[in-house]
Structure 1
Amino acid sequence: MLYAAVEVTWAAAGITVRWKEHSSYTPAVQLLLAALALLAGGACLASTRTLARTGRVVVATALVTALPVFVVGSTGLPIYFVTIATLSGVESATGLAQVLLNTAGAALLLLVGLSYRRRLRGDCPRCGRPHAGAVDGPLAYPGASRAPRRTRVAVYLLMCGLLPWAGAKSIWTLGGDALGVSGDDWQRTMSVGASGPSKAAASAGIEVTVLAAMVGIFLLLGLLYVWGQVFPWWTLFLSGRRVPRLLPLIPAWLTGIPLTVYGVFLIVMAPLVAVGVLPGIKPSPPFTTSSGITWMVEFGGLAFAGLGIGLVVAARSYAARTHPVCASATATMGPE
């Protein structure tokens, strides 16, 4: 209801809401999103009731239809995160608000969908295990463990997608030439409007978006290993305490899913541009050739999709390894 109210207000007042740099939502699209939000809200309320087959199909269809729309609308979240973290300023306050609304909607719909699926299977909507009794009793948490070897290998391979993108940016930051772009041109272009932290990182040979990717890698490693479940010694007074499972999971899901969608889009787009199916990308400074910027788009797709899919895979493993169950379920089923 809040989402719908905001969209209707923006549409009625003619407020510009950025979708991307040179595109904005039209009032018709905003009203359509408001209607979809109300439909999704009604489905969420209905998901807690006992429904006939037709009602279950309607609820499931509404959730499945609305969730991808909100996920796509949240794809700008990582970009806003980088601009805010580097103190580069927010290009569009309403655009940021729209992304945050879409992100919250996607997260809540995902949780509702998961709970609804469990309820349809006859499982506890909270812990996912079949058991009798209340669903609001104490929870039993499993012991800390690292991700299976297969998961770790998959995530490491996905992380390799960052190398071409990070390598090119690091070369430019260090003054070298790559993809037809000289280090001097890159530094001159990037220095325009750059914040103090961005300039400080560049002076140390670190491109700020590469630094942001390193934060993502840190999160990935925490999802894979035990220190992401129990605070390690270097966290001082938190050492030895259990890490709240949503602390790494929320940023992993909210960052991983938009990065995956955006990265896959770039991976598909770049080859289509290269073979002429899509119009060529007009080079803009510091790029001097269409081929150079097309290669960088592909590198960006590999980086974003690799990091995004890696976060999703690692978060899925982390969620399974740390998933608590109702104490009544463990008492009923016994130790596994």
Structure 2
Amino acid sequence: MTIPVFVVGTSGLPIHFVTLATFAGIESATGLTQVLLNTVGAALLLLVGLSYQRRLRGDCPRCGRAHPGAGDGPRVPPEASRATKRTRWTVYLLMCGLVPWAGAKSIWTLGGDALGVSAADWQRTTSADASGLSAAAAEVGVDVTVLAAMVGVFLLLGLLHPWGQVFPRWTLFLSGRRVPRLLPLVPALLTGVPLTLYGAVLVVMAPLIALGVLPGMDPSPPFTTSSGITWMIEFGGLAFTGLGLGLVVAARSYAARTHPVCAGATSADRAERLT
């Protein structure tokens, strides 16, 4: 029961990350500290629970496989592989949740009107509230949150395909080298889990507002109607849930495909195949 409490406390992590990455400043130092403490606590508890579960099964606490000898020797990484077809199509389907949200923002960027909001009003509002990288992007008509989503999509593709395990040729000096396993896993999980939780709340909240179960939201610039805000909440929920859950699913597959195994376990497997 303790782990879910810490996990829920990480829901604000993506928002803090975007503000820091765009040099918009820290909205709340205490809030950021609390989120980071919850994240560290959840990670430590998960690692302890995983190690305990492996010991109960009689598996090696390091690699999770049953093999003779101590688990203190070298570990062998598996060959680069692609996620299963089922996993890939599941992630691609979840990524479709980005379409309504990114579509509306792209329409505003291109000068069109959507959800009762004109392009001029949207750009005026975002430019007034933006700072740092967000302001620079707004000056050229680019929404920084859409850019952040594209980074998430790039991370998703790397988790699903072999080039996320071995640096491809276009990485120049890193080409052919093994990608550190935690390099994509850590940002994927730290972003995916909070995004899923935050998006799920929005997905449920928007229909409840539309049905009158929850009070409607008063329109605020650039929105001119409460229905426009409600639709944007739903679009945002679908986008955050789809991207977040896609990252979690892809990260789970990546973790299983890249998990190094103790040399003793691989030797035991080879001996079994020969007998």
* Length-normalised TM-score, structure 1: 0.78
SS of equivalent to 1:276: coil
Aligned position for 2:159: 223
- What amino acid is aligned across from residue 115 of structure 1 in structure 2? S
Aligned position for 1:80: 16
CA RMSD of aligned residues (A): 1.4
Aligned position for 2:91: 155
What displacement does 1:196 show? 4.4
Confirm or deny: 8 A CA contact 1:170 1:205 kept in the other structure: no
| CA distance 1:243–1:137, shift in 2 (3 Å) | same
Segments of structure 1 that go 5 or more residues without pairing to the other structure are: 1-64
- Distance in 1 of aligned mates of 2:40 and 2:224: 40
- 4+ residue segments displaced more than 4 Å: none
SS of equivalent to 2:11: coil
Confirm or deny: 8 A CA contact 1:165 1:303 kept in the other structure: yes
Give percent identity, aligned residues only: 78
Select the residue among 133, 136, 140 that pairs with 2:69. Answer: 133
CA-to-aligned-CA distance 1:269-312 (integer Å, 9 cap, x gap): 11111111111122221112111111101000100000001001
- Distance in 1 of aligned mates of 2:47 and 2:184: 16
- Distance in 1 of aligned mates of 2:93 and 2:14: 21
Aligned position for 2:28: 92
Worse overlay, 168-177 or 140-149: 168-177
Select the residue among 243, 254, 264 that pairs with 1:307. Answer: 243
- What amino acid is aligned across from residue 256 of structure 1 in structure 2? G
Confirm or deny: 8 A CA contact 2:67 2:264 kept in the other structure: yes
- What amino acid is aligned across from residue 5 of structure 2 in structure 1? V
Report the count of equivalent residues: 272
Aligned position for 2:268: 332
What displacement does 1:201 show? 2.2
- Distance in 2 of aligned mates of 1:102 and 1:136: 31
- What amino acid is aligned across from residue 104 of structure 1 in structure 2? V
* Length-normalised TM-score, structure 2: 0.95
**Structure 1 segment 59-78 matched on structure 2, within 5 A:** 65-78=1-14
1:298 aligned onto 2:200: no
Aligned position for 1:234: 170
Aligned position for 2:203: 267
Aligned position for 2:43: 107
Aligned position for 1:184: 120
**Structure 1 segment 32-71 matched on structure 2, within 5 A:** 65-71=1-7
- What amino acid is aligned across from residue 60 of structure 2 in structure 1? C
Higher relative contact order (CA 8 A, sep 6+): 2
Aligned position for 2:133: 197
- What amino acid is aligned across from residue 182 of structure 2 in structure 1? L
- Distance in 2 of aligned mates of 1:198 and 1:261: 25
- Distance in 2 of aligned mates of 1:187 and 1:249: 35
Segments of structure 2 that go 5 or more residues without pairing to the other structure are: none
Confirm or deny: 8 A CA contact 2:200 2:241 kept in the other structure: yes
SS of equivalent to 1:286: coil
